[in-house]
Structure 1
Amino acid sequence: QPRASRLVSQGVELGFLRREADPDDARRTLIALTDKGRAITNRFRGAQRENVDQALSTFSEDERAQLASLLTRLADAWPK
């Protein structure tokens, strides 16, 4: 809890996050991305996608299908 609170506070200070009142419960605070935070998130996701595309560039279509199947099995078997 303390670590999460510090991370949120840092995100607010840096302009990546904003705190909002919870309309359903005044005791709670909601955390939302700012436009600046959303832009960084989108760049990160784009970089991740580029890295995955690069890593898979030498895989055949059959290998990609096999990897997708195995990852699906792993996700389905993951303890919840």
Structure 2
Amino acid sequence: METPTPGPPSREARGQSLEDVHRALEALLASTRGARLHRELAARAGGSLTRAESFLLGNIVAYGPLRLSALADLTGQDRSITSRQVDILIKADLVRRTPDPDDGRAHLLVPTDAGQQMSRNMRAVWSTWLQDSLGTWSDADLAQLAGLMLRLGRDLRGTREP
């Protein structure tokens, strides 16, 4: 006797699966976006940056030099908010503005040596926190999770916001 091949999921089953993904995303964000957790990890890294400032610094280090508009687009933030946060990073000597060689009227954001070091420190502290939190996970599970999260991020960025 042949086993019937399953067909596409019903609308109900698909809707429930998407609701489960939504709940899982909310739980993930709640566990990693807490101000107290971030303050503690930032202090371990030797700094006092807010979560938003750390996020911008990490993007400038990873993808810079960047124009402010490109940084705002990359991070999905409003340009005025991004500008205020970048000003804080500049005052802390973690980022500097340099003239854009392609357009003398524009500036590029470049991490300073201190900014690169702070970003490395933050990544190391977060890596330790993840190791402590996910220490019982297998390498295969971690690789699968990383792949699925990258795919999720790409697919969500590829769709229009509601």
Could you state the TM-score of these two structures normalised by the residue count of structure 1? 0.77
Counterpart code for 1:78 = L
State the Cα distance separating 1:38 from its structure 2 match. 0.8
Aligned with 2:92 (options 14, 18, 39): 14
Q: How has the CA–CA distance of structure 1 residues 22 and 55 changed in structure 2, closer, same or farther, with 3 Å as cutoff?
A: same
SS of 2:110's equivalent in the other structure is strand
Q: Corresponding residue for 2:109?
A: 31
1:43 maps onto 2:103 in alignment:
no
RMSD: 2.1
Q: How has the CA–CA distance of structure 1 residues 34 and 58 changed in structure 2, closer, same or farther, with 3 Å as cutoff?
A: same
CA distance in structure 1 between the partners assigned to 2:105 and 2:127 by the alignment: 38
CA distance in structure 2 between the partners assigned to 1:13 and 1:68 by the alignment: 35
CA distance in structure 2 between the partners assigned to 1:24 and 1:63 by the alignment: 45
Identity %: 31
Could you state the TM-score of these two structures normalised by the residue count of structure 2? 0.42
Q: How many residues get paired?
A: 80
CA distance in structure 1 between the partners assigned to 2:128 and 2:134 by the alignment: 10
CA distance in structure 2 between the partners assigned to 1:61 and 1:5 by the alignment: 39
State the Cα distance separating 1:61 from its structure 2 match. 4.4
State the Cα distance separating 1:6 from its structure 2 match. 1.5
Q: Corresponding residue for 2:145?
A: 67
The structure with the largest alpha-carbon Rg is 2
CA distance in structure 2 between the partners assigned to 1:63 and 1:23 by the alignment: 45
CA distance in structure 1 between the partners assigned to 2:97 and 2:83 by the alignment: 12
Could you say which structure has the greater relative contact order, defined with CA pairs below 8 angstroms and 6 or more residues apart? 2
